[in-house]
Amino acid sequence: MQRIAVLTSGGDAPGMNAAIRAVVRTGIAAGIEVYGVRNGYAGLIADEMIYLDRRDVGNIMQLGGTFLGSARCPEFMTIEGRQRALDHLAARGIEALVVIGGNGSQTGSYELSQMGYPVVGVASTIDNDLEGSDITIGVDTAINVALEAIDRLKVTAASHRRAFLVEVMGRKCGYVALMAGIAGGAEMVVIPEREMSPEQVAHQIKAAYDRGKNHAMVVVAEGAVNNAKKLIDYFAANPGATGFSPRATILGHVQRGALPTASDRLLASRLGEGAVRALLDGKSGVLVGIRDDQIVTTPLAEIVGKQKPLDLRLFDLAQMMAQ
């Protein structure tokens, strides 16, 4: 193998730069030329690729986001779009592709590999919803950002006897909300895996109030049916339901822009290296992830269209700790 390409796709995740760096430097160490594709699959279709040497990926590991750019690209969902991408790769003599991204992006990897092209995916999403990896690049940073916000909001919540709803990202997966909730000592966690009605949420906050707590912190996953907006609307229509004066803070994309934690940089370095090793071993159509602290590959066919289930024992832990 002489020439490969790497791209980042879908939602950006802190640590993606460290993964690109690892792919480039592992490739070069193995005598392979590495090209970077700009803006995910869109850049593949538009033939936007740049040669990367060791120095081009210097001083980027500590930065959030992705220096190659990312995009959502509906055209890649069509066979014509993917064929155009393959034509550009062939014209440049690029023999394999590394895709750093989440669930949707790895479905794209799978579709491309089904067309006979060697592709290896790297598990990277702040949602941690990918099968095939215990944890994905960006999750640790996202939890830490959420945690910092919770810690700060707790200070003002306690001063004013308030209930704060903090909504965190994670799409349909409650992982980030649950972990940040446990680490932040939240009174409640509202996640899609354990939906709750506004009445149930209000009841639990009121119980905390009646136990004498001077504040209540509720971490809400954006994917919950009753998200922060719905809950705060309910509380506004039912004053007194919680005992506290409720407020909502939606963290949104703030969680994505942070500097990657040490844990995310290490994971990204290991998975990036693992992706190139997998290609050198002749693997294709696989996702590189981490399980029990070992770098492993899982066939993309086994993970596409799935969402990794949440360990609900952690939900029980969050509930018990809040008493």
Q: Which residues are marked as active site? A: 127
Sequence-distant (≥ 6) Cβ neighbours of residue 39 within 8 angstroms: 46, 48, 68, 69, 70, 71, 73
C-beta of residue 174 within 8 angstroms of C-beta of residue 146: no
Q: How far is the CB of 108 from ligand ADP (least distance, A)?
A: 3
244 sits near ligand ADP (criterion: CB under 6 A):
no
The helix/strand/coil state of 312 is coil
Q: Between β-strands 294-299 and 286-291, what pairing exists: parallel, antiparallel or unpaired? A: antiparallel
How far is the C-alpha of 161 from the C-alpha of 223, rounded, in Å? 27
Which residues 107-136 are close enough to bind ligand ADP by CB under 6 A? 107-108, 111, 125
Q: Which is nearer to ligand ADP, 177 or 241 (CB)?
A: 177
Among 105, 113, 226, 297, interactor with ligand ADP by CB under 6 A: 105
Closest residue to ligand ADP: CB criterion: 104
76 sits near ligand ADP (criterion: CB under 6 A):
yes
Among 101, 138, 174, 223, interactor with ligand ADP by CB under 6 A: 101
C-beta of residue 320 within 8 angstroms of C-beta of residue 116: no
Binding-site size, ligand ADP (CB under 6 A): 17
C-beta of residue 287 within 8 angstroms of C-beta of residue 303: yes
How far is the C-alpha of 199 from the C-alpha of 128, rounded, in Å? 29
Q: Which is nearer to ligand ADP, 137 or 208 (CB)?
A: 137
Contact string 5-24 vs ligand ADP (x = CB under 6 A): ----xxx-------------
Q: How far is the CB of 299 from ligand ADP (least distance, A)?
A: 16
Which residues 256-285 are close enough to bind ligand ADP by CB under 6 A? none
Q: Which is nearer to ligand ADP, 160 or 253 (CB)?
A: 253
Q: Which is nearer to ligand ADP, 103 or 284 (CB)?
A: 103
C-beta of residue 78 within 8 angstroms of C-beta of residue 48: no
How far is the C-alpha of 197 from the C-alpha of 235, rounded, in Å? 12
The helix/strand/coil state of 91 is helix
Which residues 29-48 are close enough to bind ligand ADP by CB under 6 A? 41
72 sits near ligand ADP (criterion: CB under 6 A):
yes
Q: How far is the CB of 171 from ligand ADP (least distance, A)?
A: 8
Nearest Cα to 194, choosing from 108, 277, 315?
315
Q: How far is the CB of 207 from ligand ADP (least distance, A)?
A: 37
Among 26, 103, 284, 298, interactor with ligand ADP by CB under 6 A: 103
Exposure string over 50-59, b if 16+ CB within 10 A, otherwise e? eebeeeebee
Which residues 184-243 are close enough to bind ligand ADP by CB under 6 A? none
Residue the block writes with tokens 């538009």 = 46
Residues found near ligand ADP in the complex (CB under 6 A) = 9-11, 41, 72-73, 76-77, 101-105, 107-108, 111, 125
